[in-house]
Amino acid sequence: MSENLVTYESNDRIALITINRPDKLNALSNGLVEALREAMKRYRDSDDRCAVLTGAGDRAFSVGADIKDPPRDPDLWECVPGVGVEVDKPIVAAVAGHCVGGAYVLVQFCDIAVAAENANFFYPEAQLGFCGGLIASCAARIPHKIAMEFMLTGKRIDAKRAYEVGMVNKVVPVGKQVEAAMEYATILKDSAPLVVETLKRFVRSTVMPKGPSELAGIARRDLLEIRRSDDQQEGGRSFREKRKPVFKGR
């Protein structure tokens, strides 16, 4: 896996996380999902107080799943903030160009979103005959009828309409989306982190409804944490060696 599928830059307590496959319009491959999951974990565990999530170039934030290498193991949910990686710190999305399918799910689970004027949002799963289900909580984030139209018809929503219905917070000229996202990020990283993180956690945990796929992803995340843990390895070793295990909670 190339380390450059997702880049992570930290400056003045702001992380810039970039989906970095511009030659493939930032399509989400298995390797990219894994790299993005690791970037989210790095942000969670770092001293950075806010992150900006964007895609390389201005043609596409991401065109969604790479049809030649669609996310399977790890699955897409594993890189989604708040589902695959529990992150209390804020994340601002900076979107230019196409934002398709699972890429919109990533934006949906960010806290704030900035769109370039050429941004367009498109969710074609009903027309393609498959569904991961994480999109369902879109109906809790924007007006119900707009969400149903977006999820079920596959019609594109341009940046102006996305702003009007509350999918994004701000629309800016093409090439200015990261700069505008950084303005939000600067406010957030200079704010009281305990307040910011507590309010985000309250909203995520008790205010915002969760769809079945989101709940399933969270449960799978917690179970995978055990399966991948040192403690599980120690349990197996101690059984084979016929000794009492020494667990360390990691």
Cβ atoms of 43 and 188 closer than 8 Å: no
pLDDT < 70 regions, the chain: 1-3, 73-74
| pLDDT (tens digit per residue) in 27-68 | 999 999 999 999 999 999 999 999 999 999 999 999 998 888
In this predicted structure, what is the pLDDT of residue 224? Answer: 81
Total-model pTM:
0.90
Angle ∠(115,51,53) on CA atoms, nearest 5: 40
Domains parsed from the chain with CATH numbers: 3-210 (3.90.226.10)
| pLDDT (tens digit per residue) in 146-178 | 999 999 999 999 999 999 999 999 999 999 999
